[in-house]
Amino acid sequence: MSEKDVQELERVTICFAGDSGDGMQLTGSQFTNTTAGIGNDLNTLPDYPAEIRAPIGTTFGVSGFQIQFSSSNVHTPGDSPDVLVAMNPAALKVNLKQLVNNGIIIINTDSFQSRNLTLAGYASNPLEDGSLDGHQVFPVNITGLTREALNDVDLSLKEKDRCKNFFALGMTYWMYSRPLETTETWIGQKFKGKDALIEANTKALKAGYSYALSTEIFTTSYKVPKAEKQAGHYRNITGNQGIAFGLITAAKKAERELFLGSYPITPASDILHELAKHRNFGVKTFQAEDEIAGIGAALGAVYAGALGVTTTSGPGIALKSEFMGLAMMTELPLVIINIQRGGPSTGLPTKTEQSDLLQALYGRNGESPIPVIAAAGPADCFNAAFEAARIALQFTTPVILLSDGYIANGTEPWLIPDPGTIPDIVIKQPRTDEEYLPYKRDPERLSRLHALPGTPGLEHRIGGLEKQDVTGNISYDSDNHDKMVRIRADKVGRINRFVDDPELIGKDHGDLLILSWGSTYGPILAAVEKVQKQGREVSWCHLRWINPLPSNLSRFINNFKTVLIPEINLGQLSKVIRAEYLVDARGFNKVRGLPLKTSELLEEIDSILKGLN
């Protein structure tokens, strides 16, 4: 390596892309774990094909994994890759348009045969027709070199070819000065007892590294120094893992068992998978036969005294709506988690979208307000899940937690909190030596006392029919119904007294306020940091709670000439803000199944500010 140049870079974005069977998610995950281990800040975007078994070699079957890593703070997986590792023509075609000018392309030339070119929709070979001019192209016969490296390993040719992703990974490890040890350890653990697979994958990884080191086509390697971060213990975490850990912590802090009733659905299923691993923490998971059974079981567990949770995506929320209304009517603390995806109907099941905000706010019959909280990123999912559970338990109400596909599958470093610094969730219990009135309320929260079934002296009515105030008896009285509707709405409204107001970044008045929620946090943060460094008057407020809206928002939202709301939908929060504050909010809306791009936001901000001057 001493004979080759080593250049230092602040940040790099790499996209690994190939067929869904080429192991690109595994390759990206290993690169991510290694990068996290050496101390870079990072953010990732796994991009799965929407079809379960798309035809091999077609653009429909391309699986990608993008990571941005840096020696400074990283807020997004990157707008455009600096490096594209393309394992076949379809992967090149899908991702080439995103690559930066003069970007690096590592191409598996063995896959650029006439049949694969045709399947990808190429009329000519891009390696020969000049269409890649303007980029740094590194043609490598990855499949053939992998086979050669594994010549003496006792595996079939098909099994050897499956190791080509580790050959590609080894090349990128050399290019960006990553160590091999983390992945070598993982290989040994993953294939424990399968010595031939351990040998093959390890050899392929080292062969790729050695090839990049020794061949003349790679003349430069790069080094991205360690990022300066707050002291503490970190781990790489996905959003779905963050939700699972937050729920477990909340259950422990509330001294409740955790019960998950769920039906598998992309992209929420990983929460079920993660929680099922933690029975040692008293977690019970139930994979139901359908969405309705999942929420019904969870609500039953809540009634019996557990912290009950159900997980799904938009189509499942539609099926769960009647049980959500029942949880609201009975005022039971159920946590409903919606990992949003592209819609409508089946839509884009593996792509991201902020598609279900209005559904969360209004998608039930009758006056049935439910609190809605939104996570901002993978690491924030821990805090959002904990807070959703806390509010549900202390206010005796169902709570909807919104995440999305980008947050759920993406990763970033998570500073593991000291359990001793996390407050207990204190829940007031009814006493058996006092008269139990199920709808007698706490004067501050308007929550009711939740009596466990079977407790002598705490017998009461429960169900979906309207309740009489205080007693909980069935009531058809019109005045009582009006009163109870208003009380339930008031209870939700009071939540903003018991949660933190969002921070306003910038002045409380000026030319432009950016208002946001959910996974737009990272791209907007990157854009705001840039424009504020330029001395431009831009302020930003990111909403955590959307129902209720924060109390401090009304104090400054009318102090700006323009309010801009970027969303991965056609303007759902914009409608809410216009109705609530009579502000002519301006939307910035992209619905492509991908996170917003910081560069596009910067262009929009620049256009608005120029129009105001």
Q: What does the pLDDT look like over 165-222, one tens digit per residue?
A: 999 999 999 999 999 999 999 999 999 999 999 999 999 999 999 999 999 888 889 9
Average pLDDT of the segment spanning 250-258: 98
Exposure string (b/e) for 65-93, b if CB count within 10 Å is 16 or more? bbbbbbbeebbbbbbbbbbbbbbbbbbbb
- CB burial of residue 292 (10 Å; 0-12, 13-18, 19+): middle
* 215 found inside a domain: yes
Task: Give the pLDDT confidence score for residue 2 in this predicted structure.
Answer: 45
pLDDT of residue 282 exceeding 60: yes
Is 452 within a domain? no
On whether the CB atoms of residues 432 and 398 are closer than 8 A, the answer is: no
**Are residues 373 and 302 both part of a single domain?**
yes
Residue 369 domain flag: yes
**Whether 212 and 248 share a structural domain:** no
Same domain, 136 and 253: no
Token pair listed for 365: 């019959």
Q: Is the confidence at residue 121, as pLDDT, over 80? A: yes
Residues 119 and 240 in one domain: no
In a 13 Å sphere around the CA of 310, the CA atoms on its Cβ side amount to: 34
**Is residue 402 domain-shared with residue 533, that is, in the same domain?**
no
Q: Are 95 and 64 in contact (CB under 8 A)?
A: yes
- DSSP annotation of 212 reads H
Domain end, chosen from 395, 421, 447, is at 421
Between CA 519 and CA 353 the distance in angstroms is 9
Q: Quote the number of domains for the chain.
A: 3
Q: Point out which residues pair with 515 in neighbouring strands.
A: 541
- H or E, element range at 292: helix 291-303
| Residue 51, number of CB atoms within 10 A of its CB | 13
For residue 54, what pLDDT band results from cuts at 50, 70 and 90?
Answer: confident
pLDDT of 1 above 70: no
Record the tokens describing residue 437, joined without a space. 């009135």
> Is residue 324 located within the same domain as residue 389?
yes
Cβ-proximal residues to 21 (8 Å cutoff; 6+ apart), any chain: 56
Tell me the average pLDDT across 132-140.
96
In a domain, 456, yes or no: no
Flag whether 309 is in a domain: yes
Query: What CATH number does residue 248 fall under?
Result: 3.40.50.970
> Are the C-beta atoms of 92 and 77 separated by less than 8 Å?
no
- Provide the domain limits for residue 166: 5-223
Residue 359, in any domain of the structure: yes
With left for phi above 0 and alpha for psi between -120 and 50, is residue 347 left, alpha or beta?
left
pLDDT above 90 (res 310) = yes
On the question of pLDDT at 139 being above 90, the answer is: yes
Which residues touch 536 (CB under 8 Å, ≥6 apart)?
605, 609
**pLDDT tens digits along 545-555:** 999 999 999 99
Rounded Cα distance, 19 and 59, in Å: 9
For residue 612, give both structure tokens: 């105001």
Task: Return d(Cα 241, Cα 243) in angstroms, integer.
Answer: 5
- How far, in Å, CA of 118 to CA of 55, rounded? 13
pTM of the predicted structure, to 2 decimals: 0.95
Q: In the predicted model, what is the mean pLDDT of the chain? A: 96
Question: For 142-203, what is the HEC assignment?
Answer: HHHHHHHHCCCCCCCHHHHHCCHHHHHHHHHHHHCCCCCHHHHHHHHHHCCCCHHHHHHHHH
- The tokens for 478 are 């019109």
Say whether both 180 and 263 belong to one domain: no
User: What number of other Cβ atoms are within 10 A of residue 213's Cβ?
Assistant: 16
Least confident of 4-13, 514-523, 538-547: 4-13
The whole-number pLDDT of residue 3 equals: 64
Q: Is 12 helix (H, G, I), strand (E, B) or coil?
A: strand
How far, rounded to the nearest angstrom, does the alpha carbon of residue 539 sit from its chain's CA centroid? Answer: 25
Which of 223, 255, 278 is a domain's end point?
223
Q: How far apart are CA 380 and CA 374, in angstroms?
A: 10
pLDDT at 532: 93
Q: Count the Cβ atoms, other than its own, within 10 Å of residue 587.
A: 18
In a domain, 132, yes or no: yes
Which DSSP letter does residue 569 get?
Answer: S
Polymer length in residues for the chain? 613
Mean pLDDT of 282-305: 97
Question: CB atoms < 10 A from the CB of 136, how many?
Answer: 13
Rama region for 285: left / alpha / beta (φ>0; ψ in -120 to 50; rest): beta
What is the predicted pLDDT for the residue at 175?
Answer: 96
3-state SS record for 337-375: EEEECECCCCCECCCCCCCCHHHHHHCCCCCCCCCEEEC
How does pLDDT run across 461-501, given as a tens digit for each residue?
A: 889 999 999 999 999 999 999 999 999 999 999 999 999 99
Last residue within a domain, chosen from 421, 448, 475? 421
- For the stretch 337-395, pLDDT in tens is 999 999 999 999 999 999 999 999 999 999 999 999 999 999 999 999 999 999 999 99
Q: Based on the fold, state whether residues 208 and 260 are members of the same structural domain.
A: no
